[in-house]
Amino acid sequence: MNRLIIVSNRLPFALDSAGEDLWTVTPAFGGLVSAVEPVLRERGGTWIGWPGTAGEIPQGPLAEATRDAGYNVVPVALSETERNEFYYGYSNEVIWPLFHDLQNFCNFEPAYWHAYKQVNERYADAIIRSARSDDFIWVHDYHLMYVAQALRERSTSQNLSALTFFLHIPFPPSDIFSKLPQQRRLLRALLQFDLLGFQTRRDVRNLLQCVRRVMPEAKVVSRAETHVIRFEKRKIHVGHFPIGIDFDSFENGARCEAVAQRSQQLRATFPDCQLMLGSDRLDYSKGIPERLRAFRNALERYPELRGRVVLIQIVVPSRVEIPRYHEFKDRIDRLVGDINGRFSTSMWIPVQYHFRGLDREDLLAHYRACDIAFITPLKDGMNLVAKEYCACRIDQYGTLILSQFAGAAEQLKPDALLVNPYDIEQMADTIVKAFRMSPAECTARMKRMRRMVRKENVFWWVDSFLAAGSRLARTVPRRRRNL
């Protein structure tokens, strides 16, 4: 197996200055880290990324943070301006909202694109410095879509094998993508990779549609699930690789004594109630206000739920420096206040709201304790929380209410209760359906979902992606492998 080089915007931890020469190291939360970290830990390799602090990177704390990682870490430094324009700007004010079909949230500031290219070039430099010719280079996510182009522009002598890319977020339909001022430049940059991986068939379809429309000189050849784009005398392979989780680690974690105790404690806090769980990073794509409105609607229309259901909503702080995220948090706070103000009794508070990340034990205890997972993103690449919930249901019990616009719906749709997150009344009706579901039906559905999540786990995801990449590295002719 060739050495694996993972390239992502963020490293799996964040360094924060806590005063003069004092640094704190905190693990990064998020789907990419949850998926990639166990793989690199198992296989070894190198992770290239930004440790989350603007300016110079403190070497001592970095060495401390990475000592027991089990893989090499190559940090990439960003200045404050680059952080603002590349990370907060182009990545999170242009690509993130646009690719989640929320074009009204976009800020198409022209300076952002230049910063995006510049920072992607920095990552390309780090790859050139760290990689050997037979390394498997795997670039991740929407922050780094220009890296292959930067590599091809910069390096003439490097003999790297195939360049591969995986997009963790959705790829938008062509009419939405066409709003992007740099649509052609970005697609051309993506076509400099040799393998493009997406979460779902829908994303692949969208990408191919955009290529056909924006790049008429590219030729798309599709045969069943195999898609090849011929462009500038190269072949770019395109496929869907639904990301999974480390099933065994969640299942074993859920079995451990501390988690069992914490889960019992949670249940005892809310006697005679069904517990419903929402857990998300603070993000407008996750549909948190819509979920709260649906719960409020259910409490209004179905009095049988009052005193009988509690929604535990965990919101993990994320990108809080962006003003839109502040406003968004205020909206959630107000909705929670409104629901609790209207419906609470001396014995029952309908929404338990935590604005903080839980430690892993506590998170697993919540998965284990809650009868219903209520996961309703407006759009989501995959949504790992849905899969983690299933893995932790060692009692084979529990109902998953899932947005039809989460990538996970493609795999879990026969057994999850699918909802349209924009349809408040339908979501409210589905809460009642979950509440009334018989234990036998609930178990039958959960068993099937667990089978799927166990089989198509994160190692299966990596193996299928690496296998596709390796097949292609063998077929990329030597001279074309000169970047």
Distance CA 151, CA 163 (A): 10
Let me know if 21 is a catalytic residue.
no
- The smaller minimum CB distance to ligand GDG, of residues 65 and 277, is found at 277
Give the DSSP per-residue string, 103-115: GGG----HHHHHH
Task: Select from 85, 388, 415, 429 the one that contacts ligand GDG (CB under 6 A).
Answer: 388
For CA atoms 315, 321, 327, 333, give the dihedral sign.
positive
The active-site residue out of 100, 168, 237, 366 is 168
Q: Would you mind telling me the total number of residues written for the chain in this entry?
A: 483
- The smaller minimum CB distance to ligand GDG, of residues 218 and 358, is found at 358
Report the nearest approach of ligand GDG to the CB of residue 168 (Å): 4
Distance CA 92, CA 95 (A): 6
- The smaller minimum CB distance to ligand GDG, of residues 299 and 311, is found at 311
Site string for ligand GDG, 188-227 (x = CB under 6 A): ----------------------------------------
Told to check if 184 binds ligand GDG by CB under 6 A, we report no
Give the DSSP per-residue string, 195-252: EEEESSHHHHHHHHHHHHHH-TTSEEEEETTEEEEEETTEEEEEEE------HHHHHH
- The smaller minimum CB distance to ligand GDG, of residues 90 and 166, is found at 166
Count of residues interacting with ligand GDG (CB under 6 A) = 24
Told to check if 169 binds ligand GDG by CB under 6 A, we report yes
Told to check if 291 binds ligand GDG by CB under 6 A, we report no
Site string for ligand GDG, 318-357 (x = CB under 6 A): ---------------------------------------x
Let me know if 168 is a catalytic residue.
yes
The neighbour count for residue 181, using CB atoms within 10 Å, is 12
CB 86 within 8 A of CB 4: no
Binding to ligand GDG (CB under 6 A): which residues in 20-39?
A: 29-32, 34-35
- The smaller minimum CB distance to ligand GDG, of residues 238 and 299, is found at 238
Report the nearest approach of ligand GDG to the CB of residue 354 (Å): 8
Return the SS3 of 457: coil
Binding to ligand GDG (CB under 6 A): which residues in 227-246?
A: 243
Task: Select from 92, 182, 279, 430 the one that contacts ligand GDG (CB under 6 A).
Answer: 279
The neighbour count for residue 257, using CB atoms within 10 Å, is 7
**To which H or E segment does residue 425 belong?**
helix 424-436
The active-site residue out of 141, 380, 415, 429 is 380
Told to check if 187 binds ligand GDG by CB under 6 A, we report no
- The smaller minimum CB distance to ligand GDG, of residues 370 and 382, is found at 382
Strand partners, 27: 13
Angle among Cα 101, 32, 142 to the nearest 5 degrees reads: 45
CB 217 within 8 A of CB 231: yes
Strands (E), 336-449: 351-354, 372-375, 399-403, 417-419
Q: Which residue is nearest to ligand GDG (CB)?
A: 31
For CA atoms 103, 109, 112, 117, give the dihedral sign.
positive
Distance CA 68, CA 90 (A): 33
- The smaller minimum CB distance to ligand GDG, of residues 296 and 454, is found at 454
Residue from 171, 152, 169 nearest 160 by CA: 152
- DSSP assignment, residue 477? -
Report the nearest approach of ligand GDG to the CB of residue 362 (Å): 7
Token representation of residue 4:
């694996």
Told to check if 363 binds ligand GDG by CB under 6 A, we report yes
Told to check if 364 binds ligand GDG by CB under 6 A, we report no
Binding to ligand GDG (CB under 6 A): which residues in 70-129?
A: none
Catalytic residue annotation = 168, 380
Binding region for ligand GDG (CB under 6 A)? 29-32, 34-35, 168-169, 243, 279, 281, 314, 316, 357-358, 360, 363, 380-385, 388
